[in-house]
Amino acid sequence: MLPFFKKKDKNIQKQGEDSTVSANEVLGTDEQPHSNVEVKTELSFHPSSTVGVEEKYYYQFLNNELSPLKENQVSLSGIELKNVEDGYVVSAFVRNSLNKSIHFNETALLLIGPDGERLARKVFNLKGLGNLPARSSRPWEFHFEEQHVIASELPSTGWRLAFEIKKPHALDLEESWEKSLADQDKKMLAKLVQETPAPKPGEVNFMSLQAKQAQDGSLHVTMLIRNGSPNHINLEKLPLIVEDATGEVIAKGGFTLNSLQVKANTSKPWTFIFPPSLLLKEQIDLQSWKAYPQQNEKANQK
């Protein structure tokens, strides 16, 4: 039996906004792209729920106020956000404009603020939601415990609940690189990132790209910093070790990165320059080489 919501007052209005996407972006199926045909979703309650007369009236009223969807869309329409002892509970309509029932399994949801800022994230097991009938709208509750809340404070209105759409791992260039790198080099890097298996979810690793010794004797090492996390990361310091083709450590040093940001699910190239004083060998062989953070296992070989 579902723990449905408390009795509402007479001021019936939604606190949250709507977020809508094509069904195939969420369900991972080959549904037709959404069309311009409008669909009004009918109110649906879970078969095992017990809903009183006042609750039915409340949800029916709110559902009638919802804007129509386009065909082949799914949507989350925010109803209420409540602060509870161990986090927040968000109630929302889960809407289906397809001509068939759908169901969800494990699904990552985001709570997003009025200015597009991320407030909370959690992976929900939505099997309990059951089969969502064709062209229907079902009220449901989503509990974000404190460990899933990112923001220090959550707004009472203007927020929205949204499906986290997993985008392909992409190239993230720092502004200085964007300006100085040739278009052909940008395309080559983007292709490399696209063709290389993405990091595992939540993983951050480093991929060797290029190493060369400058005329002044300094060693220039270019790495891809690969962020498989759903959140941006900021790197303050990085202790780096380099080995040459002989397997010997040829350079070791710590770099201050001044909060270098690598965006969620992206790879960022960065060049680390070892001055001659940090080189541990006079003759180095860069036919093959490895570079890796000191605290991590050795990274990819080039």
CA 185, CA 244: separation in Å to the nearest integer? 25
Q: What is the pLDDT of residues 97-109, one digit of tens each?
A: 999 999 998 999 9
Q: What is the pLDDT of residue 17?
A: 96
What residue spans of the chain are helical by DSSP H? Answer: 23-27, 53-65, 175-180, 183-195
For residue 69, count other CB atoms closer than 10 A to its CB.
24
Structure-derived torsion over alpha carbons of residues 170, 207, 107, 105, reported in degrees to the nearest 10: 120
Domains and CATH numbers, the chain: 18-163 (no CATH), 170-293 (2.60.40)
Q: What is the DSSP letter of 230?
A: S
Give Rg (Cα) of the chain: 25
Q: What is the pLDDT of residue 8?
A: 47
In this prediction, residues 13-17 reach a mean pLDDT of 92
Q: Residue by residue, what is the 3-state secondary structure of 117-130? A: CEEEEEEEEHHHHC
Q: What is the pLDDT of residues 269-291, one digit of tens each?
A: 999 999 999 999 989 999 999 99
User: To which H or E segment does residue 155 belong?
Assistant: none
Lowest mean pLDDT across 35-39, 155-159, 250-254, 293-297: 293-297
Q: What is the pLDDT of residues 231-271, one digit of tens each?
A: 889 999 999 999 999 999 999 999 999 889 999 889 999 99
- Specify the higher pLDDT residue, 30 or 153: 153
| pLDDT band with cut points at 50, 70 and 90 for residue 302 | very low
Examine the pLDDT at 221 and tell me if it is beyond 80.
yes
